[in-house]
Structure 1
Amino acid sequence: MRGDNRQIQTAVLGGAESEKPLMLPLEAIELDAFRRRHDQHTFWCGLLLGGCGLQLTTKLYTDRVCHFAHYPGPDGHPHLCGRSVRGVASADHLYVKAAADAWLRARGTQAGFDFVQPDGVPIGSVVDIQLPHRKLRVHLDQEVAPDWDAEHEPVLGVSVPVDSDTLIDRWYVHRIRLESEGTARRVRIGTEAFARPTEWFALDECEITDRGLSTPAVERIVQARSAPPSTRWTPGKKQEESAQDVQAHELMRRVLYARRTVSTDLAEEVCREIAELAGVSPQLRRRLDAARRSALAWVEKETEARRELFARLSQAVAAQKTGSVKAVLAEIKAGTTRGGRTEEEEHTVREAAAYLAAVEAARLARLDTLLEDVSRLPANEDPWLLKSKVEQLLQGATGAGKLGEHRQAQLSLWSTRLRHLPFPPRPATPFRPQERVPLHEQVSRAYWTTRPCPQCGVDRGQQCVVDGGPHAGRVRQVPHVDRLRPVVDELHEQQKKHGVVRTEWRAYDVPCPDCGQEAGAWCLTPGKPHSARSKRARELSAQQEPRL
Structure 2
Amino acid sequence: MRGDNRQIQTAVLGGADSEEPLMLPLEAIELDAFRRRHEGDTFWCGVLLGGCGVQLTTKLYTDRVCHFAHYPGPDGHPHLCGRSARGVASADHLYVKAAADAWLRARGTEAGFDFVQPDGAPIGSVVDIQLPHRKLRVHLDQEVAPDWDAEHEPVLGVSVPVDSDTLIDRWYVHRIRLDSEGTARRVRIGTEAFALPTEWFALDECEVTDRGLSTPAVERIVHARSAPPSTRWTPGKKQKESAQDVQAHELMRRLLYARRTVSTDLAEEVCREITELAGVSPQLQRRLDAARRSALAWVEKETEARRELFARLSQAVAAQKTGSVKAVLAEIKAGTRGGRTEEEEHTVREAAAYLAAVEAAKLARLDTLLEDVSRLPANEDPWGLRSKVEQLLQVAAEAGKIGEHRQAQLSLWSTRLRYLPFPPRPAKPFKPQERVPLHQQVGRAYWTTRPCPQCRADRGQQCVVDGGPHAGRVRQVPHVDRLRPVIDELQEQQKKHEAVRTTCPAPTAARKPAPGASRPANPTPHDPNRPGNSPSSKSPTSEGIRPSPPCSYCRPAAAAHAAEQNCGGTFGPAPIWSAAPQEQRPPASFWRRPRAAWATRTSRKCSVSIAYCTFTACSPKYTTSTISGSS
Residue 227 of structure 1 deviates from its aligned partner by 1.2
Deviation at 1:133, TM superposition (A): 1.1
CA distance 1:353–1:540, change in 2 (3 Å): farther
Q: Secondary structure at the match of 2:69?
A: strand
Preserved contact between residue 136 and residue 152 of structure 1 (Cα < 8 Å): yes
TM-score, normalised relative to structure 2: 0.39
The aligned counterpart of 1:57 is 57
CA distance in 2, matches of 1:160, 1:9: 23
> Greater shift after overlay, 407-416 or 483-492?
407-416
The more displaced of 469-478 and 55-64 is 469-478
Q: What is the rounded CA distance, in whole Å, between the counterparts of 2:147 and 2:412 in structure 1? A: 33
Measured in 1, the distance between the counterparts of 2:202 and 2:500 equals 75
**SS of aligned partner of 2:407:** helix
Q: 1:315, CA displacement in angstroms?
A: 59
1:140 deviates by: 0.1
Query: Secondary structure, in 3 states, of the residue corresponding to 2:604?
Result: helix
Q: Are the structure 2 counterparts of residues 306 and 489 from structure 1 closer, same or farther at C-alpha, using a change threshold of 3 Å?
A: same
Name the CA distance, whole Å, in 1 between partners of 2:414 and 2:8. Answer: 19
**Are the counterparts in 2 of residues 191 and 218 from structure 1 also a CA contact under 8 Å?**
yes
Shift of 1:186: 0.1
In 2: Cα distance, 1:290 partner to 1:445 partner: 67
Per mean C-alpha deviation after superposition, the further-off stretch among 239-248 and 422-431 is 422-431
Cα displacement (A) at 1:132: 1.1
CA distance in 1, matches of 2:249, 2:127: 46
Choose 468-477 or 2-11, whichever is displaced more: 468-477
Matches within 5 A, 1:127-142: 127-142=127-142
Moved over 3 A (4+): 229-239, 241-335, 337-504, 511-515, 531-541
SS of residue matched to 2:601: helix
What's the offset of the Cα at 1:287? 23
RMSD of aligned residue pairs (Cα, Å): 24.9
Please say if residues 136 and 153 of structure 2, whose CA atoms lie closer than 8 Å, have aligned partners that are also in contact.
yes
- Give, in angstroms, the shift of residue 2 of structure 1: 3.2
Indicate how the Cα distance of structure 1 residues 458 and 95 shifts in structure 2: closer, same or farther if over 3 A, else same.
Answer: closer
* 2: CA distance, partners of 1:417 / 1:101: 73
- Structure 1: state its 5+ residue gaps: 505-510, 516-520, 523-530
- The equivalent of 2:603 in structure 1 is 535
Q: Displacement, 1:211?
A: 0.9
Using the alignment, how far apart are the partners of 1:360 and 1:115 within structure 2? 60
In 2, Cα distance between equivalents of 1:255 and 1:453:
79
Please tell me whether the aligned partners of residues 74 and 461 of structure 2 are also in contact (alpha carbons under 8 angstroms): no
Superposed displacement of residue 3, structure 1: 1.6
Question: 2:551 touches 2:608 (CA, 8 Å); kept in 1?
Answer: no
1:13-41 per-residue CA deviation (whole Å, 9 max, x = no partner) reads: 00000000000000000000000000010
- Residues 426, 514 of structure 1: 8 Å contact kept: no
CA deviation after TM superposition for structure 1 residue 228, in Å:
2.8
Q: Deviations over 1:134-175 (max 9, x none)?
A: 100000000000000101000000000000000000000000
In 2, are the aligned partners of 1:514 and 1:532 still within 8 Å (CA)?
A: no
Check 1:481–1:231 CA distance in 2 against 1; reply closer, same or farther (3 A cut): closer
**CA-to-aligned-CA distance 1:346-390 (integer Å, 9 cap, x gap):** 999999999999999999999999999999999999999999999
Say which is worse superposed, 387-396 or 151-160, in terms of deviation.
387-396
Note if contact 1:512-1:533 (Cα within 8 Å) is conserved in structure 2: no
The 1-side partners of 2:126 and 2:40 are apart by: 32
**Contact conserved, 1:7 with 1:87, CA < 8 A, in 2?**
yes
Kindly indicate whether the alpha-carbon contact (under 8 Å) linking 2:76 and 2:448 is maintained by their aligned counterparts in 1: no
Give per-residue Cα distances to partners, 1:254-298, cap 9 Å, x unaligned. Answer: 999999999999999999999999999999999999999999999
1:250 Cα deviation after fit: 18
Task: Find the aligned partners of 2:431 and 2:499 in 1 and give their Cα distance.
Answer: 19
Counterparts in 2 of 1:153 and 1:440: CA distance versus 1, 3 Å: closer
Structure 2: unaligned runs, 5 residues or longer = 504-549, 555-596, 610-618, 622-631
CA distance in 1, matches of 2:456, 2:20: 71
Whether the aligned pair in 1 keeps the contact of 2:11 and 2:22 (CA below 8 Å) is: yes
Cα separation, partners in 2 of 1:237 and 1:160, compared to 1, 3 Å: closer
- Please tell me whether the aligned partners of residues 73 and 460 of structure 2 are also in contact (alpha carbons under 8 angstroms): no
Query: Whole-Å Cα distance in 2 between the matches of residues 466 and 40 of structure 1?
Result: 12
CA–CA distance in structure 2, aligned partners of residues 209 and 413 of structure 1 = 77
CA contact under 8 A between 1:120 and 1:405: conserved in structure 2? no
Partner deviation per Cα, 1:17-71 (whole Å, 9 max, x = no partner)? 0000000000000000000000010000000000000000000001100000000
CA distance in 2, matches of 1:12, 1:413: 64
Judge conservation of contact 1:113–1:127 (CA < 8 Å) in 2.
yes
Residue equivalent to 2:484: 485
1:224, distance to aligned residue in structure 2 (A): 1.0
List per-residue Cα deviations over 1:186-215 (Å, max 9, x = no partner). 000000000110000000000000111000
In the TM superposition, what whole-angstrom CA distance separates every residue of 1:400-450 from its partner, at most 9, and x where no partner exists? 999999999999999999999999999999999999999999999999999
Does residue 350 of the first structure (1) align with residue 354 of the second (2)?
Answer: no
Separation in 2 of the partners of 1:392 and 1:2?
Answer: 53
Distance in 1 of aligned mates of 2:353 and 2:82 = 31
> Is 1:439–1:481's contact at 8 Å kept on the other side of the alignment?
yes
